[in-house]
Amino acid sequence: MINGSAFADLITGGEGADTVTGAAGKDSIVLTETTSAVDTLKYSESGVLNADTVTGFKAGTDIVSITIGNITDNGGLFDTLSNAAGGDISAGVAAGAAVASFTGASSTGTLLANTVNLVILSNVAATSFATAIGTTTFTSSVGMDSGLTLGEGLATVWFDATNSQAVYGYIENSIGAGDILSTSDTFHEIVRVGMVAADFTQGNITASFSLF
């Protein structure tokens, strides 16, 4: 187990299955190894001041694991993850579980099942969260503003084509935006994981996501 500090650390994993907790700060994490193993990255912080960059990550094998408890954002406030119905992850979802929705840009009016707790934006030509989500809007049977309160977010992953990275984080509902999640809401970045576009698939990203 390797624990980062509150600063911008350089963390290099060794041979075997590593568990790395980045903590605060913009860490650089290297997972390259000669013998394949399942490495796990654990996160309880978010925001551009805390977002790590990872190389050597094996899509579909290595794991990005996000807490079901409080996530500390840039401002020191606490956010929590929820499902599409606004059910708090810590109360309604077992650690390790993921129910994913794979959604392309410009999917206006996408209705998510209430149990969805991970959204994967499929546009591999995106250069930002705004271009990844495009004109896509999400709702559930209970709406979004109705279900998600301030400080609650829906785990989301998009692909940054400029840097060849899968960007893990969550969309926080801004409240009052037509009872939907959309580009007008706030994306909190957690970690950027290097991979090629061909590896950015629903199967790989779902397999590489967990909760703890």
Whose CA is closest to 123, among 70, 167, 61?
167
Q: Would you state the pLDDT for residue 208?
A: 93
CATH 2.150.10 fits 2-211, yes or no: yes
Q: Which helix (H) or strand (E) holds 192?
A: strand 186-194
For residues 210 and 67, is the Cβ–Cβ distance under 8 A?
Answer: no
Query: Along the 212 residues of the chain, how does pLDDT read in single tens digits?
Result: 665 556 566 677 777 788 887 777 777 788 877 777 898 999 988 988 888 899 999 999 999 999 988 999 877 788 999 888 888 877 555 555 678 888 877 777 888 888 889 999 999 999 999 999 999 988 887 766 667 777 889 999 999 999 999 999 999 887 655 578 889 889 999 999 999 999 999 999 999 999 88
Domains of the chain, by residue range, sit at 2-211
pLDDT at residue 207, rounded to an integer:
92
The predicted model scores a pTM of 0.90
Joined tokens for residue 204: 């790989």
Cβ-proximal residues to 61 (8 Å cutoff; 6+ apart), any chain: 36, 38, 207, 208
DSSP string, 55-124: ES--TTTSEEEE-SS-EE-TTS-EEEEB-TT--BHHHHS-TT---EEEE-TT-TTEEPPTT--EEEE--T
